[in-house]
Amino acid sequence: MVAGSPQGSAPAPADPAALAAIPDLGRKNAMDLILIRGFAAFQYIDPEAYLRRLRSPEIEIVHSDLPANVRHLRTHELKATRKRRSAAILAHGMEQVSGASAWLR
């Protein structure tokens, strides 16, 4: 991420009790359990809130005299921001279509 870019809202809670309630599935699925616990340790952000915070700087940047590749997030330094913005748009769209929650990491 580029310094000064918006961060997401509060992380989605990782409920330790819910993780403890996952049944022991035996050796075959032990890796699945490790993977689930690993994902629970990440901090997630709401894509809609992220896009809303990103919108006001975008408007200012579009109307500035910056080079086109900077305005369109097409520099190497802005690659992570561009990818996160694209992921947020995808996640928000999937929320709208499916009705299920989608979070960004």
Radius of gyration of the chain (CA): 18
Collapsing DSSP to helix, strand or coil, 83 comes out as helix
Alpha helices for 44-78 (secondary structure H) = 47-62, 68-71
Q: Which of 60, 58, 62 is nearest to 88 (CA)?
A: 58
Token pair of 26, please? 């035996």
Residue with tokens 């975008």: 58
pLDDT per residue, tens digit, the chain (105 aa), is: 444 444 555 555 556 666 666 665 555 577 778 888 888 888 889 999 999 998 888 888 888 888 888 887 888 888 898 899 999 999 999 999 999 888 888
